[in-house]
Structure 1
Amino acid sequence: MDRRDRNIGTPVRKSLLALGILALSGCSMFGGGQPANPATAALACPKIGIVRELQEVTQFRAGGKDMTDVTSRAAITDYSGNCEYGSDGVTINLNLFVLAERGPAMQGDQATYRYFVAVARPDEENPASKAEFETSVAFPKGQTRVVTKEELAPKIPLPKDANAKSWRVLVGFQLTPEQLNFNLAQIKR
């Protein structure tokens, strides 16, 4: 019998510097309504966090460095979902909402972004696993902003009746060193 926690809440951002390995390449508390079955009351979804320094990406045309050279920008703005416990672990049904914006130097009507989902064990800084994904966003004629939803289902293998509430799922854009430096400079302002 599968058990479900429907409460994936609002994001609170975590610092990249505290996450070690992610710097090279938030957590949210879940609460709300009580499960109908008291036996499942202690089982909860893992904590979800959008890594602050990796929450946005700005793409420049080749050789460009100022805002007139921006081809597109994107931000992970929110998430929602739930988790389902099974006999072999917990599956997190995660929806990421990405806001993309056309830049003044954009040619064409499409932008592509890379992002990641990492899973960290309780009390460990470095992720136990990390998967990268790519998404393309098409800008309809005359529209400069688009919101998309990415549907993901990372799974944490756990023994039966083990609780995933202390695990963390971290999300962010997969940035180049230049993009990361740009984000860090923007945060300092």
Structure 2
Amino acid sequence: MNIHGATSKGLVRTTCLLILLATSACSSFFDKPQRRPCAGASIPAELADFVIFDGPGRDLIDVNHTGRIREVETSCKFEIDEKTSEGTMSLAVAPVFELERGSANKDRQASFNYFIAVTEPGRKIRDKVTYPVTKEFTGNATRMVAKDKTITINLPVGPEIGGTAYHVYVGFQLDKAQVEFNRKRLNQLR
């Protein structure tokens, strides 16, 4: 056996091993499930804040509590039938609130309602649900950040309708006077 024969056998073995590794790596790479895009989420500016007053006064000493939606955490999980490409997107939505206790607050609580609305293609409202929340200020705290429970919404998806066809809106459920109050404040900031 010459030195060239040994090198050729080693080279053949190494080449075969590399081809085997490369093809198995490609197979596992292409078999991984594709990540699908999730629905978007927005907080309408006029419904992102609230101020609760005690009584008819509108001064700083009349404020019971205030709130602001700091962010909306979302995530998606898909269950898709490979044959039909149809299935369900489970959309998890969890709003995070910033709450502040005002001078008129005696019960150390912040109570409010917020909504989650889902629009489908064409921005038509598919569903809207309102959720009541009561949070308690502990000790001498006058501010808190509180994440509400995660709400799961199941939505149909398929070849024509993907996750991004839907959009989620989260806002405080306000009356007309509160919306007008927010509009005036927003206009003053512009």
TM-score class normalised by the smaller sequence: 0.7 to 0.9
Q: Counterpart amino acid of 2:74?
A: G
Q: List per-residue Cα deviations over 1:129-170 (Å, max 9, x = no partner).
A: 100001111001210001111122122233478411121000
Q: Counterpart amino acid of 1:102?
A: R
Which blocks of at least 5 consecutive residues in structure 2 are unaligned? 1-29, 81-86
> Corresponding residue for 1:165?
164
> Corresponding residue for 1:101?
100
Shift of 1:94: 1.8
Q: List per-residue Cα deviations over 1:85-108 (Å, max 9, x = no partner).
A: 124411111221101000111121
Q: Counterpart amino acid of 2:78?
A: Y
The answer to whether the Cα contact below 8 Å between 1:86 and 1:160 also exists between their aligned partners in 2 is no
Instruction: Report the 3-state secondary structure (helix = DSSP H, G, I; strand = E; otherwise coil) of the residue aligned with 2:164.
Output: coil
Structural mapping, 1:34-183, within 5 Å: 40-41=34-35, 43-87=36-80, 88-124=87-123, 126-150=124-148, 151-159=150-158, 162-183=161-182
Shift of 1:80: 2.0
- The verdict on how the C-alpha distance between 1:46 and 1:187 changes in structure 2, with shifts beyond 3 A counting, is same
- Once residues 125 and 38 of structure 2 are traced to their aligned partners in structure 1, the CA distance between those partners, rounded to angstroms, is 17
- Once residues 149 and 81 of structure 1 are traced to their aligned partners in structure 2, the CA distance between those partners, rounded to angstroms, is 12
- Once residues 72 and 31 of structure 2 are traced to their aligned partners in structure 1, the CA distance between those partners, rounded to angstroms, is 26
Shift of 1:173: 0.2
The answer to whether the Cα contact below 8 Å between 1:89 and 1:160 also exists between their aligned partners in 2 is no
- Once residues 168 and 37 of structure 1 are traced to their aligned partners in structure 2, the CA distance between those partners, rounded to angstroms, is 30
- The verdict on how the C-alpha distance between 1:77 and 1:102 changes in structure 2, with shifts beyond 3 A counting, is same
Higher share in helix: 2
Q: Counterpart amino acid of 1:158?
A: V
Which blocks of at least 5 consecutive residues in structure 1 are unaligned? 1-35
CA RMSD of aligned residues (A): 2.1
Larger radius of gyration: 2
- The number of aligned residues is 153
Q: Counterpart amino acid of 1:136?
A: T
- The verdict on how the C-alpha distance between 1:123 and 1:100 changes in structure 2, with shifts beyond 3 A counting, is same
